[in-house]
Structure 1
């Protein structure tokens, strides 16, 4: 064999050897990859989700509180403030931004982007990673945070396996929706719906392009690119602009539009969603208790209890977000002015015992000590095993704290005992508004700042109602004695022998104006809140029939059967008073207040549907005549401020000049003011045909109050809140607040037109007589 032939054979054998080694290495690599995937699928590198878990990925879903007009009032959650949305609820530019930035070939692959993977391998990740949206979703749902070392590669394999399973299990659109719903955008913004609401106060479908780009930019690192993080002031904007560049690169937006959007700021409208922030906080606190009671008594079909903080329930409420906003704005407008006037009158020079009146120093010390022992600090320290002596000492040690003021929170150092005294000076509001026909509660303001004052003055608080109780006495007298608003009674003093009511002492009420001469029509007497006329009516009908009526009107609080209740000595809640007054506007039919219309699970299955509760209490005629009596209060009594035209003038420190109330209502309004002894409580109950609203204002302790009635009456403390709220409601044409006349019952036999009544009475003697006492 020649040397040349031998060389050729050697080269041929070498070539064949290379080929064999290539195939050996190739097949070995393929086998290794296959084995790697098999081992991963068998759970060698950690458990993988099975089919059923892929079908229903485990994520905590917040319970959503929804207003009657379809807005989210708040949510119940522990860690995950997540409410999922469907793909159809996502704007196109939000989806475009995601695909352009995170996975340009999303619609071309089946979970793994081969081209991107090869690029990542060749350049060792220096020219971008290869994770598809499906892989990132797999990591979020099932794999967890990125691992390091060898685990980083086994985790990547698990991501590949799960992402391909996700692609087989779900449509592309469902994967995108899940990706947006699962991501944590920071600041309690779990998922795109919470993020849109918290950062821009919008629903996802309302986001514009630059807002969508900012949120998509946060997918890279929501902690680093957090618009609320002052450590990286320009980073979030720069990252947003990168997303806009990607959108232009892939043809989703034009170059011109990109440039104009990059020049704009972020446009944040930061609206935190926490249990102590946002709209309707006091109502949400009430609802928390309502839901826990419902869950306790309504288990799932399998016997398990619903999880308020993780099962994604939807609670549909009667609260109207617009009316709730107007109510809170009315409180925010009036209360700082009223508080400023109170503070002006209660400086240490003017009142050495400020903020208390008519208390000795020993009484003040007792009050503060009781408050200390009832405080949260005392409860927590006692639970920690501290002695009384240690706890009391802590109340006199200066500490860092944030306190409330009407000009904003104040970070300060203060002794806890001094902070207690500071908070004792504040006047608090309570407001509830209700549709009398349906019983639907439209607005609920239990206080002025839930972060600092958790006590609810709508449902929890019960205070003396003052003259707002008088319409119940008048209604009882009208029902039993068939009296007209035009009927006259003497305003002279009366002494009621109270032994028959269980009181050892006779009762002689006084009129606030000191006038006792002459006669007054019932309409004028109620308008001017004349106590002696109410006492005479009470003496005619007796306390028990009045109590019986009030109980039928939904009042559950205890009321003693004594004549003085007619002047409002009973302690009732705003909730009870509004429901009771609503019966008059609803033509004598009591309707129990409704706060929740229905509850759904996360799949939209109705779990609870409310059942209306109503009952006939008084005749249509009695209800209408009582309403006409209360109309007189706003035409010629303490409620006439609603109709007066005055200068909208305020002092430099925001204290309102009481002589100027620029409300100028011209429509029929039935109402009643209430002022309790020593001006501790101010009330106003006001009605139009389809809306009844009650307002209370007072301090935590009854010893904190205005010294005189000028500012301490219901017409100055509570009525302005009602007026500001109702003016906003009436100006909002979408609410359809009825400003017409109250409906007149058929066959009305009791005269309500006093001018015509006087003429007819003069022509038809004898004088009307009513019995001195009824048999009751």
Structure 2
């Protein structure tokens, strides 16, 4: 009896435990359901609604796109993110992420119940339970987890709710793409597109399997697994990803083993505002866009954000031609700079890098440079320092990084130097500006504003304006042809010529001389020969015949906005004009007398592809087609027998070996028609070359920041030595790239040509001495 009672009591106790188990289980479910509901209602914090889920707010970089579809660079503050679609991801990248982060990604609906139970039982020691959808929810809506256990639980609940909503809102493929796009891979690599470009210099679709594995490995912790700081750890983590891909049958064991033995093979290509391709053009574009944003608000009246709104700017720059232009500068400038340093050693020039200045003039120049410097501005206006304190700071040595040419490439060196000494150091560097443009469309194809944007940010294409020297003379000749119907074959006496005082407002008589001095006269010259050899006196005769005002008016009509005073001296190139203006002006000649305003931006789109801006061509008739063509034929003489003849190849072997070394790429051996003009200003301070073929006009300027820093002699200081080689190297590369379709044809003649351009009857003697840009005897050709 007692035994039976005891068994009955045990059964009752068991039933009681079973009952309590189910009560607790049901209560737990109800509590969990209630917590879910409370989280979804926003009781634990604001939750994204349907519209926010549909358009999650992420900062998107503005992308600058070349005419051939390449990304030139981006505008961004903190997030260098440009989204890609799922179709742009290689399958092995997707497989790597699924195998490593969420093996049941295609089976669950946002929350992996099995993974969650496993994590709960093992207290997280068997791996986390967050699905890709949950991780995306975390990245999009609440960021890093709290250290407080209660807050972490509540955040996890919110994560689950948002993940489930995301699964309802988007397809698996869209969730996958969003996760790749949102993740920060470090080193300004926000999102998979930036990461693949920065770490491997590739678009995502071009990634190899091992590269995809490395990037997926970084999802664990991109700060810890940074391939630049921790290559060994990143390689080990990559190999874990490859092992996971093998585990889930995405790759076989042989492939896994072979890839695990390979190195990371990074091709680190940082994307910053001061690095990459077309940096000076991007600097110009930054100003262009800020002006555009001021005048073009969003439909709701708010302003576009250049750095966060994900705009797409379609430009006329051709990435291939831009690279050819930058390569040409980097081939020529270090050699020219080396010769400049060679001629300006303290022994050869105690005032280096300046010439013709005494110490007081140098001190004044340096003081002016000091007060114009960014250091002065910062200390004066940001730090509120006195002038005396600032001046004293320029004499105190400090650590700094300075620019150097190293093995023909731009580089940096850490040193300790006085800021004043660093100013003088940088004033010894020659600068350059170069622009290339299609004269028919006005599309600017290449823009190089200097050698290195990090250290020389002043853009010498559009910002900088320098005296143009003899490159101005074609405007004088064009005016004479247009007004007086002159022919290239017309002859003029090569004798001294003066324009009397007060004739054009000149207070004194103006008597320009040829560069060869008193002995550089005699006989007659055709206009073709005179322009080819930059004969100053004949140019003076022409401007006297048409009047300086006529020339100044023409220059204004063909796009030069810089001040050009209507005085006789403009004939020899005293006006200060930018490379940008000069290329636009010369393009008028190649475009049959029609001026087309240079175009840099063709359209702007928002992140959804809606067109916000589309350029409208601006052009106007300036010269007759005949006058433009005749001027071009005149300039062809410059490259046939004048100061630009070194663009041809024959008969140049007697140039000194060291000179050929500096004039990089010589001989150039072009055989096609080329119209051009060299220019050299007084004391060899500025060297110019303007070169044209039928569908491309390119201008190059080279000189120092201060005109007092220059070559002592014309051997290296002339436009044909300083600037022309850059044009020659650039054009050789453009012609070698046949896909660019750069013309080698003749310039098209007008249907009715009334002016004689065939000067074979009175062709100049090739042995005639050059004038303005004469070479030393041992270098003559």
TM-score normalised by the chain length of structure 2: 0.95
Matches within 5 A, 1:201-220: 201-220=201-220
How far apart are residue 121 of structure 1 and its match?
1.0
Q: Distance in 2 between matches of 1:611 and 1:289?
A: 19
After superposition, the Cα gap between the structure-2 partners of 1:370 and 1:76, relative to the gap in structure 1 and judged at 3 Å, is same
Q: Distance in 2 between matches of 1:379 and 1:206?
A: 46
SS at match of 1:674: strand
In structure 1, the partner of 2:668 is 663
In structure 2, the partner of 1:56 is 55
In structure 1, the partner of 2:185 is 185
In structure 1, the partner of 2:755 is 750
Q: Distance in 1 between matches of 2:402 and 2:493?
A: 52
Is the contact made by 1:433 and 1:442 (CA closer than 8 Å) also made in structure 2?
A: yes
How far apart are residue 8 of structure 1 and its match?
4.1
Q: Distance in 1 between matches of 2:7 and 2:241?
A: 60
In structure 2, the partner of 1:774 is none
SS at match of 2:303: coil
Q: Distance in 2 between matches of 1:459 and 1:711?
A: 25
Q: Distance in 1 between matches of 2:237 and 2:66?
A: 35
In structure 2, the partner of 1:127 is 126
SS at match of 1:405: strand
In structure 1, the partner of 2:430 is 427
Is residue 466 of structure 2 the alignment partner of residue 463 of structure 1?
A: yes
- CA offsets 1:177-199 (integer angstroms, 9 cap, x no match): 11001000001010111111111
Q: Distance in 2 between matches of 1:43 and 1:563?
A: 80
In structure 2, the partner of 1:573 is 578
In structure 1, the partner of 2:405 is 406
Determine which of 451, 455, 467 is the counterpart of 2:454.
451
Q: Distance in 2 between matches of 1:117 and 1:647?
A: 80
Q: Distance in 2 between matches of 1:340 and 1:733?
A: 33
After superposition, the Cα gap between the structure-2 partners of 1:728 and 1:221, relative to the gap in structure 1 and judged at 3 Å, is same
Is the contact made by 1:578 and 1:694 (CA closer than 8 Å) also made in structure 2?
A: yes
- CA offsets 1:628-676 (integer angstroms, 9 cap, x no match): 1101100000001101255799989x99355982211111100000000
Q: Distance in 1 between matches of 2:169 and 2:295?
A: 37
Is the contact made by 2:689 and 2:720 (CA closer than 8 Å) also made in structure 1?
A: yes
Determine which of 687, 690, 693 is the counterpart of 2:698.
693
After superposition, the Cα gap between the structure-2 partners of 1:173 and 1:301, relative to the gap in structure 1 and judged at 3 Å, is same
Is residue 254 of structure 2 the alignment partner of residue 256 of structure 1?
A: yes
How far apart are residue 732 of structure 1 and its match?
0.0
How far apart are residue 15 of structure 1 and its match?
2.8
In structure 2, the partner of 1:176 is 176
In structure 2, the partner of 1:199 is 199
How far apart are residue 46 of structure 1 and its match?
2.2
Is the contact made by 2:488 and 2:757 (CA closer than 8 Å) also made in structure 1?
A: yes
In structure 2, the partner of 1:15 is 14
SS at match of 1:234: helix
Is the contact made by 2:332 and 2:663 (CA closer than 8 Å) also made in structure 1?
A: no
SS at match of 1:607: strand
Determine which of 278, 283, 297 is the counterpart of 1:299.
297
Is the contact made by 1:649 and 1:657 (CA closer than 8 Å) also made in structure 2?
A: no
Matches within 5 A, 1:56-455: 56-150=55-149, 151-229=151-229, 232-383=230-381, 384-407=383-406, 408-455=411-458
Determine which of 578, 589, 596 is the counterpart of 2:594.
589
- CA offsets 1:24-65 (integer angstroms, 9 cap, x no match): 111111122122222322333322222221111111111100
Q: Distance in 1 between matches of 2:582 and 2:697?
A: 10
Is the contact made by 1:65 and 1:73 (CA closer than 8 Å) also made in structure 2?
A: yes
Q: Distance in 1 between matches of 2:203 and 2:664?
A: 44
Is residue 510 of structure 2 the alignment partner of residue 507 of structure 1?
A: yes
Is the contact made by 1:471 and 1:626 (CA closer than 8 Å) also made in structure 2?
A: yes
How far apart are residue 146 of structure 1 and its match?
2.1
In structure 2, the partner of 1:768 is none
- CA offsets 1:263-288 (integer angstroms, 9 cap, x no match): 22111111111111111011000000
Instruction: Please say which of residues 6-15 and 295-304 is displaced more in the overlay.
Output: 6-15
How far apart are residue 19 of structure 1 and its match?
1.9
In structure 1, the partner of 2:771 is none
Matches within 5 A, 1:758-769: none
After superposition, the Cα gap between the structure-2 partners of 1:439 and 1:107, relative to the gap in structure 1 and judged at 3 Å, is same
Q: Distance in 2 between matches of 1:203 and 1:498?
A: 67
Q: Distance in 2 between matches of 1:476 and 1:505?
A: 24
Q: Distance in 1 between matches of 2:500 and 2:308?
A: 62
Is the contact made by 1:341 and 1:655 (CA closer than 8 Å) also made in structure 2?
A: no
How far apart are residue 250 of structure 1 and its match?
1.1
In structure 2, the partner of 1:528 is 533
After superposition, the Cα gap between the structure-2 partners of 1:488 and 1:648, relative to the gap in structure 1 and judged at 3 Å, is closer
Q: Distance in 1 between matches of 2:608 and 2:640?
A: 53
Q: Distance in 1 between matches of 2:584 and 2:169?
A: 53
Is the contact made by 1:313 and 1:600 (CA closer than 8 Å) also made in structure 2?
A: yes
Is the contact made by 2:663 and 2:725 (CA closer than 8 Å) also made in structure 1?
A: no
Q: Distance in 1 between matches of 2:18 and 2:264?
A: 60
Is the contact made by 2:648 and 2:670 (CA closer than 8 Å) also made in structure 1?
A: yes
- CA offsets 1:547-571 (integer angstroms, 9 cap, x no match): 1111110111111111110110110
How far apart are residue 9 of structure 1 and its match?
2.8
Is the contact made by 1:337 and 1:655 (CA closer than 8 Å) also made in structure 2?
A: no
Instruction: Please say which of residues 294-303 and 235-244 is displaced more in the overlay.
Output: 235-244
Q: Distance in 1 between matches of 2:646 and 2:452?
A: 28
Q: Distance in 1 between matches of 2:665 and 2:447?
A: 27
Unaligned runs of 5+ in 1: 760-776
Is residue 536 of structure 2 the alignment partner of residue 537 of structure 1?
A: no
SS at match of 1:147: coil
How far apart are residue 4 of structure 1 and its match?
4.7
Is residue 718 of structure 2 the alignment partner of residue 718 of structure 1?
A: no
- CA offsets 1:732-753 (integer angstroms, 9 cap, x no match): 0110001111111101111111
Matches within 5 A, 1:35-54: 35-54=34-53
How far apart are residue 149 of structure 1 and its match?
3.1
How far apart are residue 251 of structure 1 and its match?
1.4
How far apart are residue 18 of structure 1 and its match?
1.9
Q: Distance in 1 between matches of 2:763 and 2:100?
A: 83
SS at match of 1:549: helix
After superposition, the Cα gap between the structure-2 partners of 1:23 and 1:400, relative to the gap in structure 1 and judged at 3 Å, is same
How far apart are residue 12 of structure 1 and its match?
3.1
Is the contact made by 2:331 and 2:664 (CA closer than 8 Å) also made in structure 1?
A: no
TM-score normalised by the chain length of structure 1: 0.95
SS at match of 1:576: helix
How far apart are residue 522 of structure 1 and its match?
0.7
In structure 1, the partner of 2:778 is none
After superposition, the Cα gap between the structure-2 partners of 1:264 and 1:644, relative to the gap in structure 1 and judged at 3 Å, is same
After superposition, the Cα gap between the structure-2 partners of 1:274 and 1:308, relative to the gap in structure 1 and judged at 3 Å, is same
SS at match of 2:698: strand
Determine which of 553, 560, 567 is the counterpart of 1:555.
560
Aligned residues: 755
Q: Distance in 2 between matches of 1:758 and 1:397?
A: 64
Unaligned runs of 5+ in 2: 765-781
SS at match of 2:630: helix
Is the contact made by 1:464 and 1:676 (CA closer than 8 Å) also made in structure 2?
A: yes
Is the contact made by 2:468 and 2:686 (CA closer than 8 Å) also made in structure 1?
A: yes
